[in-house]
Amino acid sequence: MDLARRTRTEVLLLVAFCGFLFFYGLGAFGLLGADEPRYAQVAREMLDRHDWITPTLQGKPWLEKPPLYYWQAMASYGVARAFPSTRSGQALPARGVGRALLPAQDQDNDGVTDQTARLPAAFDAALMIAAIYFFLRRFRPGSEEDGALITAGSAAVIAFARAAATDMPLAATFTIALLGWYAWHESGKRIYLAAFYVFLALGTLAKGPVAPALAAVIILIFAAARRDWHTAFGTIWIPGIALFCAVALPWYVAVQLHNPEFFRVFILEHNFARFSQDVYHHRQPFWFYIPILLLSLMPWTLWLILAVVERVRLTWSEGKSAVSNPEDSWQLFLLIWLLVPVVFFSASHSKLPGYILPAIPAGALLVSEYLAARRTEETRISLSLATAHGALCGLLVFGALMARSIQLNHRLVPGKETYIDGAIAAVFALGIAAALLSRYGPRLLRSVTMLAIVVGVGAILRLAAPVIDVTQSARPIAEIIQAFSREPVPIAIYHVGRVQEYGLEFYLNRPAQHYENGNVPAEAHVVVAARNTQSQIAQFVAGRPVSYLTTIPAQKLDVYWVGK
């Protein structure tokens, strides 16, 4: 196959694979957690105010995060408003949730949906995969398809590519920046160093100073390991620094001028205090990120362990000679890139799984390098390794098939469905193991693993998504409220968690009043409250009629109507 045809085939495969993993079914379930609806609502308010500087939530400054995700979501909403026919699926306007609660002139062009809120992360993930492919094609020819597909098929990349959050924008820009730096290191071309500074600036706009801090530590450790201080000092390039400042600083200066409290809130509280103290109750043990890292690289976990052990062994036993050639230097760089974010955030008092997402592409690329070496050596896959990888892929398929039942029952319940799903998973495990044990095993590894990944993601979107929607998202609650009243009635909450609070505010596009704080709307309104609290609701609104509307058993909530 000639080069052009092979490239076309690889690109089409990548487009199809990433299109399914990142973009398909973005609205299959509603926005999850507190962060997704909160970030999506901030972007909506900025767009409605035509304000590209100050993020707000329910009209009040929300200065916890920089604006890159908000800007991307604003652009996504704006395109959907300009082309309303692009809106489809289960998102807000298409399903009617909150549609009647919008001003009349906005009901048909709001453009704010689950899909449009999640598109920025999906787009950033696809851009990252494209950058990996073309970097490897230029500097590590022959491994570009493996590197791109393994990265795209890693569990954490798939999950965060489908989330309306800031994690993927940071991971994508950070990855492209480090690829640019290494391209400059190997080729000496300043255009790559310029790309490093530009994407590092975008990473700073994605999540703050953590991007340049991590990049600086990785580059310094790499230079120290190779005793190559010329490379480290050469990175300090005045035009590049000017590019960084031109991209990153204008927003930081503007938001500080508009909001004098920005430095205290963002820098001191949400960077330094979050790292040094458990301010937001995200405390985890020091070793928290070890299992998170292994799960994030599923189903490539075993190969990651082998790749890391091999690279550490070579570096330890051979010293400087182990990094003297470009191939070894590249793998050393990937190892450092993988470990620095994990160690850095392990030292933090506040830990969340998404914090180490910038390390995941390095792990995936280490796996692709390890597999490329095995193919070059024509090494057969051992029985134990083939069995273990097959079992891991089978476990992935089983978990995806059983996700619906586990979500409903909060545990694995034995029964006919469980046994059938277990049999299907066992067939996958045995088939993959048998394929790997054949003489073409190393060549088939990527294909059979991709099959398990596609089946797993498809099963979750097809089987588990409705249950995830009912149990984890505020979207069904908002649908019930909108079905009860087509008018924009006020919303109140009582003993309701942040997930439902921020979700309702996003889907209904209005603030929720807190009964606990004494904020009882004077007009007739809907109350979403914890189960069996009707008598307490009645005390808050003494003398006013209270009618029970419905219950949401999956989220242990009741919905009431309170008259004037």
Q: Tokens in use for 536? A: 């307490």
Q: What is the pTM of this model?
A: 0.91
pLDDT tens by residue, 490-549: 999 999 999 999 999 999 999 999 999 889 999 999 999 999 898 899 899 888 999 999
Q: Hey, what amino acid is at 179?
A: L
**Do 137 and 281 touch, CB atoms closer than 8 A?**
no
What pLDDT was estimated at residue 488?
Answer: 82
Rounded to 5 degrees, what are φ and ψ at 100?
-75, -10
pLDDT for 180 equals: 97
Task: For the beta carbon of residue 230, count every other beta carbon within 10 angstroms.
Answer: 8
pLDDT of res. 473: 94
| pLDDT computed for residue 351 by the predictor | 84
Among 138, 152, 185, CA closest to 365:
152
> Helix or strand or coil: residue 548?
strand
For residue 56, list its beta bridge partners.
61
- Dist CA 460 CA 404 (whole Å): 8
Residue 266 has what pLDDT? 86
Q: Tokens 């095995």, residue?
A: 374
Strand partners, 491: 512, 526
pLDDT at residue 282 in the model = 61
Domain edges within the chain: 1-379, 383-472, 475-562
* Whether the Cβ atoms of residue 528 and residue 559 lie closer than 8 Å to each other: yes
Q: In sequence order, what DSSP letters do the residues of 431-469 get, joined into one string?
A: HHHHHHHSTTHHHHHHHHHHHHHHHHHHHIIIIIHHHHH
Q: What is the pLDDT of residue 319?
A: 63
Distance CA 24, CA 332 (A): 35
Helix (H, G, I), strand (E, B) or coil at 98: coil
Question: Which regions of the chain are under pLDDT 50?
Answer: 86-108
| pLDDT (0 to 100) of residue 271 | 73
pLDDT tens for 27-66 read 999 999 999 999 999 999 999 999 999 999 998 999 999 9
